[in-house]
Amino acid sequence: MSSIRNDEPTVEDRILEAAASCVLAVGVKRVTMTEIARRARMSRPTIYRRWSDTNGVLGALMTSRIAGVLDAVPDGGRDRETLVARAVAVAEHVRTDEVVMSVLHDAPEFAMVYIAERLGTSQMILVDALAEAIRSAQAGGSVREGDPHEMAVMCLLITQSTIQSAQMVEKILDREALSAELARSLNGYLAP
């Protein structure tokens, strides 16, 4: 039986791929709708029908890159160790994503909105996924009692801080040590 699924990139996919290309080529602060349109091989009005400005495109790009990691790191079980291993793997994927890290380091004012002022869409997607995993692990007895959403938010804060600060401490905690310490932190926080 043949698949009816179309693997062609959608218009939104093409726009976000073009925006990612711009971020890597010219830096976050120099991304323009004109350059995105040129790289996506479409008109600016096509992009403006979806997003009102470059910040909107960049926000959608970040959501796509960060939330998309959940597909790259599938859920492998319902216990604390598996939950923590997935969280650490997701953190590693995000931390090594050139586009995400470029935005984080080159446009701190853009990133700061999602670090200090409000939860973004990708963060809420991650919180919801973590809360569901915590709820399942609580049912199995490997995670302590508590509100799964509150605990998921705290896990997000711990992990997000680790990602943001990794470059600063890389001479003390290399990639492997950072992941091991993040796992210890999350395991300790979630343990019954």
Q: Are residues 55 and 137 in the same domain?
A: no
Range of the domain at 52: 11-60
**pTM of the entire predicted model:** 0.87
Q: Are residues 54 and 127 in the same domain?
A: no
Q: Among candidates 125, 70, 126, 62, which has minimal Cα distance to 97?
A: 62
Residue 1 falls inside a structural domain: no
Residue 135 falls inside a structural domain: yes
Q: Are residues 177 and 140 in the same domain?
A: yes
Q: Are residues 76 and 49 in the same domain?
A: no
Q: Are residues 113 and 179 in the same domain?
A: yes
Q: What is the mean pLDDT of each run of 10 residues along the chain (192 residues)?
A: 60 97 95 97 96 94 92 89 97 94 86 78 94 97 98 97 92 96 98 98
Return the pLDDT at 6: 57
